[in-house]
Amino acid sequence: MPLRDRKPERKVEETEALLHEDAAHKTTKKSEPVVVNNSSLSELKYACDDAVRDYLNDGRGYQQNHRHTDIKLLLGYLACAVALGDFAYSWKKPLTEFRTISMAAVIIYFVLSVSAGLYAFFFEGDKVYLGRRGKERISVSAQVKDYKPIYYLTIIRETTDGKGAGQRERTLAKPFADWFDVNGRLAHERLELDVASMLE
């Protein structure tokens, strides 16, 4: 066989190898178990929050809106920039020259840090997911009450226009024992079925 006829075969083999590697990577990521401490309500909640987000993004085709995270990160980065700027300025200046600037930097850092906390409390609240799919917007809130191993989930869907415009709200309250075994392993299928029933 001529040499020029072997090149396409080699390219096909390389392409197939890459596809197999990609499929193996997706399978490993998909089947990676989530195991948490059953006695920690915060770990149980965070595991469920992540599973709900993954399901809405990958299983239902929603596109997540990271607005709350972006705003908190921006405030945090600004606070760090102020602290680093004050440190860099004070590195080469005597105390008498940068005392006023340092006090101003401390105040600004405090204001930015408090602003991030207030934003998370008043605006983000219990929301764990904001997203959009076409003309539909979705907001998901989740909470756990003290000393009660129950996951409270609220899904609000809103259509922006069209004949079916409106808002629909569904709530769910289930014990973590329905989704986690005695070893703290999360059963994704059970959780996803419950979330899917809320989206019907």
* Residues of the chain under the 50 pLDDT cut: 1-12, 14-29
The residue to which tokens 């499929």 are assigned: 23
Residue 4 lies in a domain: no
Which residues are registered as beta bridge partners of 170? 155
Residue 20 lies in a domain: no
Residue 27 lies in a domain: no
The number of domains in the chain is 2
Cα distances (angstroms) measured from residue 105 to each of 33, 78, 119 = 45, 11, 21
The residue to which tokens 């066989």 are assigned: 1
* Shared domain check, 119 and 74: yes
* Shared domain check, 146 and 54: yes
**CA nearest neighbour of 44 among 187, 178, 184:** 184
Cα distances (angstroms) measured from residue 126 to each of 11, 40, 183 = 51, 18, 27
What confidence score (pLDDT) does residue 56 get?
95
* Shared domain check, 48 and 142: yes
* Shared domain check, 47 and 119: no
Residue 132 lies in a domain: yes
What confidence score (pLDDT) does residue 94 get?
77
Q: How far apart are the C-alpha atoms of 54 and 70, rounded to whole Å?
A: 19
Q: How far apart are the C-alpha atoms of 176 and 47, rounded to whole Å?
A: 10
What confidence score (pLDDT) does residue 132 get?
93
* Shared domain check, 194 and 148: yes
* Shared domain check, 194 and 111: no
What confidence score (pLDDT) does residue 101 get?
86
Q: How far apart are the C-alpha atoms of 193 and 198, rounded to whole Å?
A: 9
* Shared domain check, 80 and 93: yes
* Shared domain check, 189 and 139: yes
What confidence score (pLDDT) does residue 12 get?
42
* Shared domain check, 153 and 55: yes
* Shared domain check, 135 and 55: yes
Of 107, 124, 141, the position where a domain reaches its end is 124
**CA nearest neighbour of 130 among 21, 33, 52:** 52
Q: How far apart are the C-alpha atoms of 39 and 180, rounded to whole Å?
A: 11
pLDDT (tens digit, 9 = 90+) per residue, 103-136? 999 999 999 999 999 999 999 899 999 999 988 9
Please report, for the domain that includes residue 140, its CATH number: 3.30.160
* Shared domain check, 132 and 78: no
Q: Domain residues for 190?
A: 38-65+127-198
Structure tokens at 124: 């983000």
* Shared domain check, 162 and 192: yes
